Structure 1
Amino acid sequence: MPISLDVAVIIVSIAFAAFFAGAETALTAASRARMHALEMSGDTRAALVTRLIGMRGRLISSMLLGGQIVTIGSSAIATSVMLDLYGERGVAVATVVMTTLIVVFGEVMPKTIAIAFPDRFALAIAPAVLFFVTIFGPVVFAVEAVVRFVLRISGLSLTETESGVSGHEELMGAVDILHREGEVERDERDMFGGLLELAEVPVSDVMVHRTKMRLIDADLAPDEVVREAIESPYTRLPLWRGDPDNIIGILHAKDLLRALVNCGGDASKLRIADITIDPWFVPESTTLRDQLQAFLRRKTHSALVVDEYGVVQGLVTLEDIIEEIVGDIRDEHDETVMGARKQRDGSVVVEGSVTIRDLNRAMDWNLPDEEAATIAGLVIHEARAIPEPRQTFSFYGFRFEVLRKQRNRIAALRITPLGANPAAPRPSDQDSEPAPQE
C-alpha cells in the first residue's frame, strides 16, 4: 500500500477516534432536562439524544469499542510504515508519533470541545452515534455478557445500584451549580430550594413560638377583646380561658369587625363565643408539605402546634409556609424586620429566636440546622451549656458572642464571620471564659 494512502487511513482513523471520544463525553454530559424540553417542542435530534442517554451503558461500550478499533488499527498501520522507513527504530518512532496524535487530536481536543458544548455537540452527532450503536450492538452485547459473567463469579452484581443522593438533593445541587455559574439568581435558587425542602422541614421550625404568640383572654369584656385585637399585628388571635395553655378558639379580626358592624358599633353587644372558630391542633413533627396540603383541604390558614404531650408550642400559618418558598413577607403592620442587623464592622447582631434557616437565607450563610432550629439553640447545642453574657465561641467559621440573656434563654448574639469560608466543617472549642451575669 502506498505511503500516502497509509497516511490518509491514519488521518481518517484519528478523526473517527476523535468522533467516538467526543460523542462519549458529550452524550454523558448532556442535560437530560434540556433534551426533554427540546423533545417536547418537536426536535427529533433531542429525541435521539434522550434515547441514547437512556441506554447509557450500551452507548459507552459502543463508543469505547469504536475508539479502540480505529486506534489500534491506525497504530498498526503507522508501525508498519515506520518500520519500512526507519527499520527497527520505526517501532519507537511510531509509538511517539501515534501517541501524540491520538492523545492530542483523538482524545483531549474532542473531549474539550464536547465538555464545553455538550448539548450542541450531542444534538449534532446523535444520528451518527445511533448508527454506530446499532452496528456494534451484537459485539457490545457479547462483551457485556462476558463482563457480567466475570463480575458475577467475583461476587458483584450490576443489578444492585447505590445512590448517595436523593432526587431532591440532585436537583438542589444542579440549581446551586447554576447559581454559581450565574445562570440562576440567588432569589430563584432560594425559592426553588425552599420548595424542595418542604417535605423535610417540620412545622416547629417555622411556627411562631408560644413565647411570641399574641393571646387574648376569652373572659375579657367584649370591648377589651376588640381593643386587644386592634393592637395586635395579627388577624388570627387565639383565645384562652383559665390558663394560657388552654386555647379554646381562634378569633379572626375580619369576623370581629363584621360582628361589630352588625351590632351598630356597640362592642358591649358582641358575643365573642359566636364568632370564634374551633382551634385546630397539629403535631410539631408535621412536615411543611403535609401541613400545606392540610391547609388547602380544610380551607383554613392557621393551626396550633402541640408537642407529644399535647402542650401548645406555637402557631403556624399559611404565610409561614409560603415564606419558606418566596422569602420573608412583610407588610405595613409587621412590627419588626427579621431580627438580624448588619453592623459596619461586618458582624451581625441577631436575636436568639431567629431561625437558622432564615439567617442562612438572608445572609447567604450555610450554618447547619439539623440539631437546632434557632441560632440560640445552635450555640447552646455546640457549647453543651447555657452561655453567659460576653461569652464567645467559634465554630463553623463564625465567632458567636452572647450579648444578652433572659433567664435561661439567649436573647441576642453578635455573629462575626472568621474568614472567607462561612461554613467550616467542624466546630472549635470555646474562645473565652464566661463573664459574670449582670
Structure 2
Amino acid sequence: MMSLNRYRLRHRAKSGHRGAKRASKLLEEPDSLISTILIGNNLVNNLAASIATILAIRMYGDNAVVPASILLTLVFLIFAEIIPKTIAAYKSEAVAYTVSHVLLPLKSLLFPVIWMVSHVTHFVLRLTRIEKNDGSEHIGLEELRTIVGEAGHLIPKHHKGMLMNILDLEQITVDDIMIPRNEVFGIDIDANTDTIIRKLRDAEFTRIPVYQNDIDNIVGILHQRDIINSVDEQGRVQRDALLQAIRDPYFIPEGTPLNTQLFNFQKQKRRLGIVVDEYGVMQGIVTLEDLLEEIVGEFTSNLSTDTEDIIHQADGSYLVDGTTTVRDINKIMKWELPTDGPKTLNGLLLEKLESFPEASVGVSIGRYRFEIIEMKGNLIQSVRAYIKPKTRH
C-alpha cells in the first residue's frame, strides 16, 4: 500500500478504477491504515505463537517450546514476511487493490481500537516534540526533472526533450538566446527613402528594428507586411506612410528568465523585444521564435555538427565563429563549457586571456583547447576548437 505510485493512483482513481478508489481512500489516513495493518498483524502473530506453544507442550512436553518457537519464527519470516512482501513490492498495484477489499471493512471493525491507539501514539509524539506530517506531497523542479529523465520508453524521446527544455526555461535568460547587438539588422529612420527600400529588399526578417542615428536609439519595429500599405499607385514607397507603419518598440530588461518572457510575450501580444541593460543600452533582440526553439528545437535546421557557425573538420576539430554562443556550442558539440559567465565564445576566451590576443594564440578551458585563427579589431573572428587528448601516465 505504501509503495504505490501516488500520482498513478490518483490518475486511475479519477478514471473510475474501483480498486484505486479504495486504495486512495485508505491512504487518505496513512496512520489509521498502518494501525489497522499492525493491529491485525500483531493479533495474528501473537495468536499463532500462543497456539503453537500450547500444541508443542501438549504433544512433546515443555522441552519442545524452544524448538517450536524457532520453527514458527522461520515459518513466519519466510511465508508471512519475506515472500508476501516481496510479491507486494513487485506487484504493488495488484496486491493493494486486492487487499483493499479486506482492509476497508477491517478498518471500520477495528475503529475503537485504532482510535485509542492513535490517540496514545499522538500523545507520545507530542511528548517527544515530533510533529505530525500534514500528508501533503509537493514535488520540486529537480524531482520533476528526475521523473521525466527516468520515464524511459513511457515518454517518446522527442517529447522528453521538450519537457526537459520547458523545465530549463527558468534557468535560462534572454541574454542566452538573444541576437547580439553587433548582429542586429536594423534600418536608420534618417536615411533616404531609396536606402531604406534597398535595405528592406535585402532583409531576411519579417520584423525589423528601426533606429535613429545609432542602433542604441531604437524608435520602433517595422513589419514587412505593413510596407505594402505605404506603396502608391506607381509602385513607389511613400515615406510618410512608411513612418506611420512603424510600431512602438518593446523593451526587455536583461537577465529576464525565459519562462517569464514567454508569459510577457503572450500578455503583451508581442513577437520581438529589444533587450536593454540597466542603463537602457541595447544589448540585442529576442524573438518569440527564438524562445520557442528553446522548447521544440530548431525550426529551420537540425542540430547537426555542421552549421554556418560551427564546421566539423576532418581531423576531428571544429572551426567555430567567435560570436557563437556558449550554449549553442554545448548543444551542438555535446561539450560542457561554463555558461554562468560570458555568453559567446569570444567573451569566454577574452575573459580567460584578460586581454585582446593576436592570432595563433592558444587557450585551454578545462579539457577543451581553443586556437585563435583570425581576429577582426577587438573581436575574435574564428577559432579552432577540439578536446585535448588524454595523456598516459
**TM-score, structure 2 normalization:** 0.78
Partner Cα separation in structure 2 for residue 338 and residue 68 of structure 1: 72
Describe how 1:218-297 pairs up with structure 2 within 5 A: 218-256=189-227, 258-259=228-229, 261-262=231-232, 264-267=234-237, 271-297=241-267
Q: Which residue matches 1:68?
A: 42
CA pair 90-326 structure 1, distance change in 2 beyond 3 A: farther
Q: Which residue matches 2:299?
A: 329
Superposition RMSD in Å: 4.0
Pick aligned residue for 1:211 from 167, 175, 182: 182
Q: Percent identity?
A: 30
**Bigger mean CA offset, 103-112 vs 80-89:** 80-89
Displacement, 1:108?
Answer: 2.8
Pick aligned residue for 1:400 from 368, 371, 375: 368
Displacement, 1:247?
Answer: 1.1
Pick aligned residue for 1:101 from 59, 65, 75: 75
Q: Which residue matches 1:174?
A: 147
What does the per-residue CA deviation read over 1:320-343, in whole Å, with 9 as the maximum and x for residues that have no partner?
2212221222269xxx94855667
CA pair 352-169 structure 1, distance change in 2 beyond 3 A: farther
Q: Which residue matches 1:24?
A: none
1:310 has 2:283 as partner = no
1:142 has 2:112 as partner = no
CA pair 37-310 structure 1, distance change in 2 beyond 3 A: same
**Bigger mean CA offset, 338-347 vs 66-75:** 338-347
Q: Which amino acid counterpart does residue 117 of structure 1 have in structure 2?
A: K
Report SS of the residue matched to 1:304: strand
Report SS of the residue matched to 1:276: coil
Partner Cα separation in structure 2 for residue 272 and residue 91 of structure 1: 104
Partner Cα separation in structure 1 for residue 296 and residue 34 of structure 2: 42
CA pair 93-331 structure 1, distance change in 2 beyond 3 A: same
Partner Cα separation in structure 1 for residue 381 and residue 125 of structure 2: 58
- Are the counterparts in 1 of residues 230 and 241 from structure 2 also a CA contact under 8 Å? no
Report SS of the residue matched to 1:403: strand
Partner Cα separation in structure 2 for residue 363 and residue 225 of structure 1: 39
Paired residues, number: 382
What does the per-residue CA deviation read over 1:110-167, in whole Å, with 9 as the maximum and x for residues that have no partner?
333333333333333333232233334443343333333333333332358999x744
Displacement, 1:60?
Answer: 3.0
CA pair 355-85 structure 1, distance change in 2 beyond 3 A: farther
Q: Which runs of 5+ in 2 are unaligned?
A: none
1:193 has 2:164 as partner = yes
Displacement, 1:231?
Answer: 2.8
Displacement, 1:199?
Answer: 4.3
Displacement, 1:279?
Answer: 0.7
Q: Which runs of 5+ in 1 are unaligned?
A: 1-26, 420-430, 432-438
Displacement, 1:235?
Answer: 1.6
What does the per-residue CA deviation read over 1:3-51, in whole Å, with 9 as the maximum and x for residues that have no partner?
xxxxxxxxxxxxxxxxxxxxxxxx3232333333333332232222222
- Are the counterparts in 1 of residues 190 and 212 from structure 2 also a CA contact under 8 Å? yes
Q: Which amino acid counterpart does residue 260 of structure 2 have in structure 1?
A: D
Partner Cα separation in structure 2 for residue 72 and residue 409 of structure 1: 81
Q: Which amino acid counterpart does residue 306 of structure 1 have in structure 2?
A: V
Partner Cα separation in structure 2 for residue 411 and residue 349 of structure 1: 7
**TM-score, structure 1 normalization:** 0.71
Partner Cα separation in structure 2 for residue 92 and residue 375 of structure 1: 77
Displacement, 1:281?
Answer: 0.7
Report SS of the residue matched to 1:28: coil
Displacement, 1:302?
Answer: 0.9
CA pair 168-129 structure 1, distance change in 2 beyond 3 A: farther
Q: Which amino acid counterpart does residue 174 of structure 1 have in structure 2?
A: I
Partner Cα separation in structure 1 for residue 38 and residue 128 of structure 2: 23
Displacement, 1:311?
Answer: 1.6
Q: Which residue matches 2:102?
A: 128
CA pair 124-408 structure 1, distance change in 2 beyond 3 A: farther
Q: Which amino acid counterpart does residue 245 of structure 2 have in structure 1?
A: I
What does the per-residue CA deviation read over 1:289-339, in whole Å, with 9 as the maximum and x for residues that have no partner?
33222222332211111122222222111112212221222269xxx9485
CA pair 360-408 structure 1, distance change in 2 beyond 3 A: closer
